[in-house]
Structure 1
Amino acid sequence: MADEKTEYPAVAYMFSVEIDGHKLGLWNSFEGLGWETTVETREEGGNNFFVHQLPGRLKYPNVKVGRPIGRDSSLVAEWFASLATGVTRTTARIAALGPDGQEVVSWSLDGVIPVRWTGPGFGVENLKAASETLELAHHGFIEAAHPGRRAG
C-alpha cells in the first residue's frame, strides 16, 4: 500500500543552485560539502598516558557543482556578468532534488565567493559530453531556522 507521501532516500538526481537570488539552474554533481576541526596537540611533561587534543578553528572545503552544458549554462554567464564591479561575499543555497523533482534536503552557505568556473573543452578525440564546473568557497553553514545566524 502506497503512503500519501513517499519518502525517498538521500539519493538525488539533480541539485538546484542559487547564489544571492541568482538562480544558476540544475546541476547533476555536487561534492566537497563538509567541515573539519583543526586539532592542536600538546604534550604534558610527566604524562605518558595521552597527548592533549585541543580543538582549533573550523575549516570548510570548497564545494563544486558540475553538469553537462545546456540552457542553464547561460545563467552562470549572467551571474558572472553581475560580478563585473567586484566580488563580494554572499550566500548560496544548494538543494538536492529527488526523483519527483521535490526538494529532499538543502544547505545554505555563508560568506560565499566564486573560486573557479571551468567550461567545456572541445576536440574530435574527446567523445565525452561537454561539461562545466563551478567551485565556491564559503565560511560555513546558515541554519535554516535562524536565517543570518551561522551554524558551528
Structure 2
Amino acid sequence: MPRQDPGSTMWFRLSIDGESLGYFNGCQGLSSQVEIEHRQEGGNNGFVWQLPSRVTFPTIRLTRPLTPDTTKVAKWISTVQTGIKRPTAEIAALRADGSEVARWGLIDVLPVSWQGPRLDPGSPAVATEVLEIAHHGFTD
C-alpha cells in the first residue's frame, strides 16, 4: 500500500445536513474538554478520585478567501431569524489532491458569527471571510 501524505497542505469542506457550504482553508476549534470533579475518599489520604462530569466543545472557526459560496453561508445564517433549527454538520479535512484525511460529524450546529471581507482599496490584502459555529458534540 502506498504511503499517503499526512496532510501537510489541508483544506476543509463544510456540509450542513448534507448540503455543501464550500471549502475553507483554515479550521480551528475541533476539540473537546472533559471537566473533572475531584472527590476525596474518607480514610484514604493518599488518593483523590478524578471523576468526569460535563464535556464542553468550543466554537469552531472556519476561514477562507471570499468565494461564490459566501451566499450559501449567508442563506444558512438567515435561517436562524425564522426559528432555530440545529442541523448536523460535517467537516472533512482534505489533501491538496482532494483525497480525504479525516472527517468530523457535528451534532446540533448553530452559526454563531460571520465576518465578511474587509473591502479596502488602500489595503490590497486577500478578501477573507470567517464563519464561527457552535455544536453539542461529535458523531460518527
**What's the TM-score once normalised by structure 1's chain length?**
0.80
> What is the deviation of 1:32?
0.3
Return the offset for 1:109.
Answer: 0.5
Q: Secondary structure, in 3 states, of the residue corresponding to 2:92? A: strand
- Measured in 2, the distance between the counterparts of 1:102 and 1:6 equals 13
Alpha-carbon contact 1:12-1:96 (below 8 Å) kept: no
| Aligned-partner SS, 2:61 | strand
- Gapped runs of 5+ residues in structure 2? none
Find the counterpart in structure 2 of residue 22 from structure 1.
19
The amino acid of 2:104's aligned partner reads W
Amino acid at match of 2:5: Y
Matched residue, 1:146: none
Q: 1:20 to 1:10 in 2, by over 3 A?
A: same
SS of residue matched to 1:128 = coil
Deviation at 1:81, TM superposition (A): 3.8
Distance 1:6 1:46, change over 3 A: closer
Q: Judge which range, 75-84 or 13-22, deviates more.
A: 75-84
SS in structure 1 of the partner of residue 108 of structure 2? strand
TM-score normalised by L of structure 2? 0.86
Question: More displaced, 114-123 or 90-99?
Answer: 114-123
Match of 1:49 among 46, 59, 72: 46
Identity %: 43
Specify the SS of the correspondent of 2:73. helix
CA positional deviation for 1:118: 1.1
Native 8 Å contact 2:77 2:111 kept in 1: no
The one of 61, 64, 73 equivalent to 2:61 is: 64
SS in 1 for 2:109: strand
Asked which structure has the greater RCO (Cα within 8 Å, sep 6+), the reply is 2
Aligned length: 140
Change in 2 beyond 3 A, CA 1:131/1:49 = same
Aligned to 1:98: 95
Q: Runs ≥4 in structure 1, deviation > 6 angstroms?
A: none
CA–CA distance in structure 2, aligned partners of residues 80 and 108 of structure 1: 19
One-letter code aligned to 2:74: A
The alignment status of 1:121 with 2:122, answered yes or no, reads no
